[in-house]
Amino acid sequence: MGSFYPSTMSSPACPACSLEEVLSHSAHWECATCGHEWPKEQPADGPRVVKDANGNPLADGDTVVLIKDLKLRGGSGVLKGGTKAKNIRLVDGDHEIDCKIDGTPMALKACFVKKA
């Protein structure tokens, strides 16, 4: 359980507003002024490894196959399981894969694909 009082020892300044009134929680910091939260552990300097549903590492240019049907946001369309996405590009963010399926740009989560 984290402390809900501003920590004065070794707490960083808020990256969003740069003020130093920062709350320390078990796994993250929280700015008492603006409410911004960020993880205590900084990501490793090495390259980020994105893995498919089977745990295989993915790379730019790979071909992947959807492992289940996925509903498209903002419409009634569905991407069918077994659909291939060729020449993927890995990006930062919640949806790690940028690709085109039938000419339409898509952003996919790696947990819904397997390496072809």
On the question of pLDDT at 46 being above 70, the answer is no
The pLDDT mean for the chain works out to 85
Q: How confident is the model at residue 33 (pLDDT cuts 50, 70, 90)?
A: confident
C-alpha distances (whole Å) from 91 to each of 2, 25, 94 are 32, 29, 9
Contact criterion met (CB below 8 Å) for 59 and 116: no
Q: List every span in the chain annotated with CATH 2.30.30.40.
A: 50-115
CATH code matching the domain that covers 50-115, chosen among 1.10.760.10, 2.30.30.40, 3.40.50.720, 1.10.3720.10: 2.30.30.40
Q: List every span in the chain annotated with CATH 2.20.25.
A: 1-42
Specify burial of residue 75 (Cβ count, 10 A radius: 0-12, 13-18, 19+).
exposed
Q: What is the pLDDT of residues 48-104, one digit of tens each?
A: 789 999 999 999 999 999 999 999 887 778 999 999 999 999 998 889 999 999 898
Q: Per the confidence metrics, is the pTM higher than 0.95?
A: no
Judge: domain 1-42, CATH 2.20.25: yes
On the question of pLDDT at 113 being above 90, the answer is yes
Closest residue by Cα to residue 53 from 66, 70, 62, 63: 66
